Amino acid sequence: MRKDTPIPSEVVDKYAEQMGLEDVGKASIREIKRLVDLVEAETGERYVRMEMGIPGLPPSDIGVNAEKAALDKGIAALYPDIDGIPGLKKEISRFVKLFVGVDVDPRGCIPTVGSMQGSFATFMTVTRMDKNKDTILFLDPGFPVHKQQCRVQGTKFDSFDVYNYRGEKLREKLESHLARGNVAALLYSNPNNPSWICFTETELKIIGELATKYSVVVIEDLAYFAMDFRQDLSKPGQPPYQPSVANYTDNYVLLISSSKAFSYAGQRIGMMVISDALFEKKAKDLRPYYGMEQFGRAMVFGTMYALSSGTAHSPQYALEAMLKAVNDGEYDFVDVVKEYGEKAKIMKKLFTDNGFKIVYDKDEDKPLADGFYFTISYPGFSGAELIEALVYYGISAISLAITGSERLEGLRACVSLVSRDQFPDLEYRVKKFHEHHG
Ligand SMILES: Cc1ncc(COP(=O)(O)O)c(C=O)c1O
C-alpha cells in the first residue's frame, strides 16, 4: 500500500480491519459512511463525502412556520383524512397543472409518508389489479430501495439498464418486456438517480404509448422535480414544464418528493398523484383484497388506510403553504436548488481534468444536465476498486453496481454534502490520485 496518500493508509486499513471489511469496494453505503466517520475522527481530515443522497440545504421557512402554527392550533391531537387535508390536495392539483401542465382532480392528489410510501403503496395496489400482472419493471439504473420494497412485500420485479436503449431504441426493448403480459407497472426516476439522465420527449412518448397499449401503469418518480437545469422549469403556468409521461398516457401515478425540491426530507412528506382515468378504473381482481373494484378507492381506503392511515398532520400544512407560495409565484423553489447544478458543473470538471470519465454522459445527442448526481469512472478500475482506492484520497462515493447499472466500472457521486470550500481539497486529491494511477 502506498504511503503518500492524502489520508494515511494505515488509519484506513486499521478501521477497515476493525469493521471486518474484507473488501471496502463492496461495502454498503452505510458501511462506507461508518468507515469514513471513523477515519475523519482520528485524522481530523474532512472527506469529500459524495456517498449519501441527502439534501444539503436548509428547509424553507414557509414550511417550517406553517407547521409550527398548525401545531400551536392543536392539530397534533386530530387524525388527518387518509387521503390528505383538503387545502393540500387542492395545492398539489394546482402544482401539477402549473408545473407539469396536466389536469388532475384533487381527489387523486394524495400526500404520503415520503415518496417512499407512495411507491410502496403503488406497487402493492397495482399488482393486485390483474392476477396475470404481478411484476414491476424498473427502467434502470435506479434507486435500490424501490427493489427492496418489492422484496419485502413479495412483489416480483424485472429490470433493464436503459444505457444502450436511448431514443427510438427504447421502443423495441421496452415492448419486448411489456409484451410478456406480466408487467403491472413500470417505474423510472426522471431526472434519474443515480445517473442524472433525463428522458427525452421521444422516450417519454414511447413509454406512454406502450403503457397504454399493454395497459401498464407508469410510476413516474419525480424526486428531483424541475432539476434539469438545462431548461427553466421554474415559472408557474408557463412552458417549458417538467417533462412527463402524463402527456402521453392517462395510465400513470406521479410521485413527487418534497425531500429535495423543498429540502424537507426530515418530515417524510411526498405526493402521490393518480391520473383521473386510473383513479376511476375498475379492476375486479382488486375485490378479494379490498372489497371494492375502483383503483383510487382501493388505494386510499385499502392500501393507505392499512399502511399508516394517512400522513402526519403538521407536515401537510407545511407542504400546503410551500406549494401555495410556489403556485402563486411568490417562492421560486428551483432557484434555491440550482446550487446543486452549479456545484456539479465545477466538480465534474475537476474529475474529468484529471483522467476520470463521466459514465452516463448524454441524453440522446445532448450533453447531460448538471444536477444532484453524476457518474464517474477511471480507466483500468472496476467500480469496487475505485471506491476502495478513493477512500485513501479522502473521497467517498457509491458503486453503480447496486443500482442495476450494467456499467460496473462506474461510481455515483452526489454533490449535495460537498461544500464549495472543499473544492481546493477535492482538486488536490483527484490530482494526486491521477498522479499515482495515471
Ligand atoms: C429516485 C428517488 N426516489 C425516491 C426517493 C425518496 O424520496 P422521499 O424522501 O420523498 O421518500 C429518493 C430519495 O433519495 C430518490 O432518489
116 lines ligand 1 (CB under 6 A): yes
Closest-CA residue, ligand 1 atom 16, reads 193
What are the beta bridge partners of residue 205? none
Q: In whole angstroms, what is the distance from residue 266 CA to residue 336 CA?
A: 18
Phi, psi of 415 (to 5 degrees): -85, -15
Q: In whole angstroms, what is the distance from residue 216 CA to residue 147 CA?
A: 18
222 alpha carbon – ligand 1 mean position (Å): 9
56 alpha carbon – ligand 1 mean position (Å): 14
114 alpha carbon – ligand 1 mean position (Å): 8
136 alpha carbon – ligand 1 mean position (Å): 18
Dihedral angle sign, alpha carbons of residues 386, 391, 394, 400? positive
What are the beta bridge partners of residue 186? 137, 218
295 lines ligand 1 (CB under 6 A): no
Phi, psi of 49 (to 5 degrees): -95, 110
Phi, psi of 109 (to 5 degrees): -105, 105
**Residue 137 and residue 159 in contact, taking contact as beta carbons nearer than 8 Å:** yes
268 alpha carbon – ligand 1 mean position (Å): 10
pTM of the prediction? 0.95
Q: In whole angstroms, what is the distance from residue 372 CA to residue 338 CA?
A: 9
Q: In whole angstroms, what is the distance from residue 423 CA to residue 409 CA?
A: 24
114 lines ligand 1 (CB under 6 A): yes
Helices (H) and strands (E) in the chain, counts: 16, 15
Buried b (16+ CB within 10 A) or exposed e, 338-373: bebbebbeebbebbeebbbebbbeebeeeebbbbbb
Q: In whole angstroms, what is the distance from residue 223 CA to residue 233 CA?
A: 15
Closest-CA residue, ligand 1 atom 15, reads 223
For the chain, list the domains and their CATH numbers.
9-57+334-437 (3.90.1150.100), 77-327 (3.40.640.10)
Q: Each residue's pLDDT tens digit in the chain (438 positions)?
A: 566 899 999 999 999 999 998 888 878 778 888 999 999 999 999 999 998 888 878 999 999 999 999 999 999 999 999 999 999 999 999 999 999 999 999 999 999 999 999 999 999 999 999 999 999 999 999 999 999 999 999 999 999 999 999 999 999 999 999 999 999 999 999 999 999 999 999 999 999 999 999 999 999 999 999 999 999 999 999 999 999 999 999 999 999 999 999 999 999 999 999 999 999 999 999 999 999 999 999 999 999 999 999 999 999 999 999 999 999 999 999 999 999 999 999 999 999 999 999 999 999 999 999 999 999 999 999 999 999 999 999 999 988 988 999 999 999 999 999 999 999 999 999 999 999 998
**Residue 430 and residue 357 in contact, taking contact as beta carbons nearer than 8 Å:** no
